[in-house]
């Protein structure tokens, strides 16, 4: 029988934030796939990424969403880009926000990184049933 440890306040806060951003379905799926091998890692990201960084009040979830997507795109973390694009509906980051983030990726991380990420963003929005031909703000 596994020993259940009391979770820290950062963990509890992180889990609440993680659920608000990624959604219960995603988080429940991730938690359901935890093994002894990655349990420590899951606790670490819940406390660190979600309980500290994402839960800080200095930036809004919208701002964090844009920065996170840009960083993930710049680093070529395709699955994470798609996950955070899906999560943007929960953070308030708009399609226009994500488009601007991709422009920053192009300038600061390179056109190939932005091009790859834009393909992922378009595919993800398509899977979400969002028609990118009906987005305002084009020039």
What lies within 8 Å, CB to CB, of 21 at 6+ separation is 50, 54, 61, 65, 87, 90, 91
Per-residue pLDDT of the chain (139 residues; tens, 9 = 90+): 455 557 899 999 999 999 999 999 999 999 999 999 999 999 999 999 999 999 999 999 999 999 999 999 999 999 999 999 999 999 999 999 999 999 999 999 999 999 999 999 999 999 999 999 977 644 4
**What count of other Cβ atoms lies within 10 Å of the Cβ of residue 107?**
10
User: What's this model's pTM, rounded to 2 decimal places?
Assistant: 0.88
> What is d(CA 20, CA 51) in angstroms, rounded to the nearest whole number?
12
In the chain, which residues fall in CATH 1.20.1290.10? Answer: 59-139
> What is d(CA 108, CA 102) in angstroms, rounded to the nearest whole number?
10
Q: Which CATH superfamily is domain 59-139 in?
A: AhpD-like (1.20.1290.10)
Closest by CA to 50, choosing from 73, 26, 77, is 26
Compute the C-alpha angle 18/20/26, nearest 5°. Answer: 65
Per-residue DSSP letter, 36:
T
| 8 Å CB contact between 69 and 88 | yes
């Amino acid at each position: 029988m596994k020993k259940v440890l009391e979770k820290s306040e950062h963990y509890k806060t992180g889990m609440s934030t993680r659920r608000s951003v990624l959604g219960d379905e995603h988080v429940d799926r991730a938690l359901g796939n935890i093994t002894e091998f990655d349990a420590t890692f899951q606790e670490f990201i819940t406390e660190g990424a979600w309980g500290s960084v994402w839960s800080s009040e200095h930036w809004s979830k919208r701002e964090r969403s844009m920065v996170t997507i840009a960083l993930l795109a710049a680093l070529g973390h395709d699955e994470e880009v798609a996950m955070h694009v899906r999560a943007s509906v929960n953070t308030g980051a708009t399609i226009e926000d994500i488009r601007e983030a991709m422009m920053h990726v192009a300038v600061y991380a390179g056109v190939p990184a932005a091009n790859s990420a834009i393909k992922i963003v378009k595919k993800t929005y398509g899977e979400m049933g969002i028609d990118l031909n009906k987005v305002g703000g084009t020039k």
